[in-house]
Structures are given as structure tokens and as C-alpha cells.
Amino acid sequence: MKNTHNIKILLMVGAIVTAAATPALAQPPQPPAAQVRAAMAKLAWLEGDWQGEGWRATRDGRETFYVDERVRFHLDGIVLVVEGRGWSVNEHGAEIEGHKALGVFSYDAFARTYRFDAFIKEGYQSRTTPEIGENEFRWTVPAGPGAEMRYHARLTEKGAWVETGERCAGDACAPALEMRLEKKPADE
């Protein structure tokens, strides 16, 4: 009889605990939007329209180019979209488009990591996990068997966006890209 009484008490306690926990379990989790926006704020220095020039290494040596970058937050600060276009000018003064790209920065609050998805007009794409610092970021993409491209973008003390890239095979690295951009005034 005593065992039956103890079982009844245990069942009642279990029912009360389950009933009390059910509303808490039924509550949907808070969306991570505030956490994502806070993480994305580290990239706020990029937002705006940028213009400049640079060079890239080719089989024939260094090729110079002009570049425009349009950088905007979307979804109320959840993602940062970078649209880039590079071109050169031939001896007749005609523009020759050399680079056209779209990049999307995001932050995964659950994995606690940034992502950078990049797409270029030739059809290549990459997904990387960039290192985001104070007014800078770094990322790496594969560049063939045993090789990779390492990029570093930073904001200088004078407000310029400087980006460099190097092609590395093992520990041997060679400069492959450099560009310097200035932010255009907001009213242009």
C-alpha cells in the first residue's frame, strides 16, 4: 500500500513538473537578429560607394585597372552586399570590363562565425569563413592544386580601403593584387 501511495505522489509530481515546463517549451526561441546585427556592425566601415584603381598580376606582368565598389546593408543590417566592377582603358580610350563580382557577408549566430560568399562573372564562386577585425577582414580561397589566394582588406587611417592579395603555394607567396579605393561623398 505504501508503494502505491509513493507511486501516486511521484506521478502527481511528474504531472505538475510537465505542466509547468510545457509553456516554457512551447515558447519559440528569440530570433538572433540583434546578435547578427551587432556582429555585422564590424563591417559598417565598408558601406557606401567606393572608387579607385589597382593592379593585378598576369602572365604578362602587372595589369592596372580602375574599380568601383558599391556596398550596402540589406535586410535591416543582416547581410552586407558588395558589388564590384573593374575595368581598364585601351589605347583608343574605350573601357574594357575586366572584373565583375558580387559578394555577400553574413553572420551565423548559432555557429558564431562570419561567412563570405563571392561570385564573379566567369561563373566561379566561393564560400569562405573570413576573419573580421577592427576595420579589416581577411579571407582565403582555393587557387588550384596546392595553392590558395590570400586577401586582406583594411581601412587606413586616412579613410582609404586598401586590399591586397597574394597567391600562395605552401609557404611560397607572391603578390597578385593591390587596390586602393576612396569613399565617394554620399551626395554624389
pLDDT of 7 reads 65
With a CB cutoff of 8 Å and minimum separation 6, the contacts of 52 are 66, 67, 160, 161, 179, 180, 181, 182
Domain 33-183 has CATH 3.30.360.10: no
Give pLDDT, residue 84: 96
Position 76: which residue type? D
Q: State the residue for C-alpha cell 582588406.
A: 153
Instruction: Return the pLDDT at 72.
Output: 98
Q: Note the pLDDT of residue 33.
A: 95
In the chain, where are the structural domains located? Answer: 33-183
Residues of the chain predicted below pLDDT 70: 1-26, 188
